[in-house]
Amino acid sequence: MKRALISVSDKTGLVEFARGLSERGFELVSTGGTAKVLMQAGLSVLSVSDVTGFPEMMDGRVKTLHPMIHGGILARRSKPNDLTAAAEHGIHLIDLVVVNLYPFVETAAKPDIPFDALIEEIDIGGPSLVRAAAKNFKDVLVVVSPTDYPLVIKHLDSSGGPATDFRFSLAQKDFVHTGAYDTAIATTLTGVDMSSGGVAKIGNVDGAPKTLALTLRKLRDLRYGENPHQTAAWYTDETEVGLGGAAVLQGKELSYTNLLDLDAAARIALEFDEPAAVVIKHTNPCGVATSSTTASAYINAREADSQSAFGGIVGLNRAVDIETAKALISTFIEAVIAPVIDEDARPILAKKSKMRVITADFSAFAGDAGIEVRSILGATLVQARDQVTEALSSWPDDALRVVTQRKPTPEEWRALRFAWRICAHVKSNTVIFTGADQTLAIGAGQMSRVDAVNVAKMKVGSGVLKGSVAASDAFFPFRDGLDAINAAGATAVIQPGGSVRDAEVIAAADEHEIAMVFTARRHFRH
């Protein structure tokens, strides 16, 4: 009789799959909680303890690490000596291993998890079972993901049973799975400080992990990279959140630049609790707006710079409803990303069949610094993700400093907060102009702040910026930038401050009767 060993922490689809195996002649062997679930479902299950002759012990730390288990997995059917050894020692061959590992990653993500509890989520037996089965893939099927259960059943029912290439594809996935698991453990534990009286503190002690190992799984090849002559692919880690867990509902294949723009759009949309829309071109926003509805937010964001918005990427922080869908298809856009697409909006979006429609859940990244990884020639840079934490509370705020004689009006305060949350996401150097809920002009990626102001002014008609506010991602090194902002028509400015010529810049603002706020925090984006 064929034998299947099942030991899983994720019980999704477990009973149905196990019943399918039983119906196909497999004897089921299982451990603790998994065995209990299967027996409650009326399935006949042989416990691992009955196989090994030893009870599960040490709070479950020791149960499957035994020659009766691993001998049954590792025995090569093509090697007579292996089969003889198994027979001599009463080892029953195991033909299928179904294992997924303790939820270490999910546990580590909990903010207040005790260190000892985290340690107990380091799986020992599970990875050993998976590696053993994957090593002997020619003889043993190994399954680590519930999503593969239907596929395994299909191949078991095929003529001649599962082919070698299918077995090997599962083994490849299994080694990636255990590799990612080990990487997560190693990376997490480098951020643990045990130096203070033996009390563990989880967190990046030195600001960044001492060791960083990445294990990524390819989702798909991309059409091309930044340019058609460059190859590119899309990868994810095992968490599959954000764009790693995105669903492409319609449209042409995504390119490398599409994904960069979708990421830029999602990052800005995350800044807002109210309905917000972002239009991106070449990773820079050309329009951002908030409103009472998603549709009006999108229309206002698009109209902030309608010329640049043509062919852009749209990010939304709310579901796409019917009205938003109608607005989206009224002009040409390359792609839209949102947390959800309402079912009755889908047929409307389908009228633009080439438009890429993507859903993704970015909520896990709200308030989470995380890390960002970027390659340079021969090395890798790692930093914490930039967050505009100073804008989380309503303004005015004690963390801010009004440095001019005139203080911002309530309406200017609203606009300054809106502008500051956006300018952090615009390529440096940047100066942007906004109202309280809509961008008006964006000067991005310039070598000087005067140039940034002039680029922004160039995009709008005369008088459009009168009464606006301006935000600069870094300090003004000279008063000329402030003079240019005044000439454009802005009445209030927000910037980090910190220049040796701050006094000169403040004096210029007072001369123009401009209210100016220092944040004491720079937001470069290179």
pLDDT band (50, 70, 90) for residue 204: very low
In 3D space, the residue among 132, 124, 129 whose CA is nearest the CA of residue 76 turns out to be 132
Considering the candidates 173, 252, 282, 326, report the single residue annotated as catalytic: 282
Strands, DSSP E only, in 296-350?
A: 312-316, 333-338
348 shares a domain with 274: yes
Residue 191 has pLDDT above 80, yes or no: no
Residue 371 has pLDDT above 60, yes or no: yes
What would the pLDDT profile of 288-306 be if each residue is shown by its tens digit? 999 999 999 999 999 999 9
pLDDT for res 207 = 57
Backbone φ and ψ of 14, nearest 5°? -65, -50
Q: What b/e sequence results for 275-311 when a residue is b if at least 16 CB atoms lie within 10 Å of its CB, and e otherwise?
A: bbbbbbbebbbbbbbbbeebbbbbbbbbebbeebbee
Whether the Cβ atoms of residue 75 and residue 60 lie closer than 8 Å to each other = no
Residue 461 has pLDDT above 90, yes or no: no
Determine whether 135 is an active site residue.
Answer: yes
pLDDT for res 229 = 94
In 3D space, the residue among 499, 496, 470, 498 whose CA is nearest the CA of residue 482 turns out to be 470
Q: Report the number of distinct structural domains present in the chain.
A: 3
402 shares a domain with 359: no
**C-alpha–C-alpha distance, residues 102 and 123, integer Å:** 6
Whether residue 61 is contained in a domain is answered as yes
pLDDT for res 111 = 66
Among 173, 192, 211, the domain boundary falls at 192
164 shares a domain with 23: yes
**C-alpha–C-alpha distance, residues 287 and 303, integer Å:** 7
Whether the Cβ atoms of residue 190 and residue 210 lie closer than 8 Å to each other = yes
349 shares a domain with 421: no
Whether the Cβ atoms of residue 413 and residue 469 lie closer than 8 Å to each other = no
Whether residue 510 is contained in a domain is answered as yes
Half-sphere exposure of 3 (CA within 13 A, CB side): 17
Whether residue 13 is contained in a domain is answered as yes
Whether residue 483 is contained in a domain is answered as yes
Residue 366 has pLDDT above 90, yes or no: no
What would the pLDDT profile of 510-522 be if each residue is shown by its tens digit? 999 999 999 999 9
What would the pLDDT profile of 470-503 be if each residue is shown by its tens digit? 999 999 999 999 999 999 999 999 999 999 999 9
pLDDT band (50, 70, 90) for residue 205: very low
What would the pLDDT profile of 55-112 be if each residue is shown by its tens digit? 777 876 777 778 888 899 999 988 899 899 889 888 899 999 998 887 787 777 676 7
Query: Could you tell me which residues come within 8 angstroms of residue 500 by beta carbon, excluding any fewer than 6 positions away?
Result: none
Residue type, 304: A
Rg of the Cα trace of the chain? 29
- Range(s) of the domain holding residue 342: 245-365
Residue located via tokens 């409650």 = 40
Residue located via tokens 């299950």 = 45
294 shares a domain with 160: no
Whether residue 7 is contained in a domain is answered as yes
The residue ranking higher by pLDDT, 415 or 392, is 415
414 shares a domain with 513: yes
Among 192, 210, 229, the domain boundary falls at 192
Return the CATH number at 114.
3.40.50.1380
73 shares a domain with 187: yes
- Segment of 348-357, 375-384, 391-400 carrying the highest mean pLDDT: 348-357
- Segment of 41-55, 119-133, 174-188, 470-484 carrying the highest mean pLDDT: 470-484
Residue type, 16: E
Residue 350 has pLDDT above 80, yes or no: yes
125 shares a domain with 6: yes
287 shares a domain with 435: no
Backbone φ/ψ region at 235: left (φ over 0), alpha (ψ -120 to 50), beta? beta
345 shares a domain with 398: no
Backbone φ/ψ region at 203: left (φ over 0), alpha (ψ -120 to 50), beta? left
Residue type, 388: V
pLDDT for res 368 = 64
Whether the Cβ atoms of residue 384 and residue 371 lie closer than 8 Å to each other = yes
Considering the candidates 135, 173, 252, 326, report the single residue annotated as catalytic: 135
Whether residue 206 is contained in a domain is answered as no
Return the CATH number at 501.
3.40.140.20
261 shares a domain with 398: no
Determine whether 351 is an active site residue.
Answer: no
Whether residue 204 is contained in a domain is answered as no
Whether residue 215 is contained in a domain is answered as no
Residue type, 288: V
pLDDT for res 45 = 87
152 shares a domain with 300: no
What would the pLDDT profile of 206-260 be if each residue is shown by its tens digit? 556 666 767 777 888 998 899 999 999 998 876 678 898 899 999 999 999 999 9
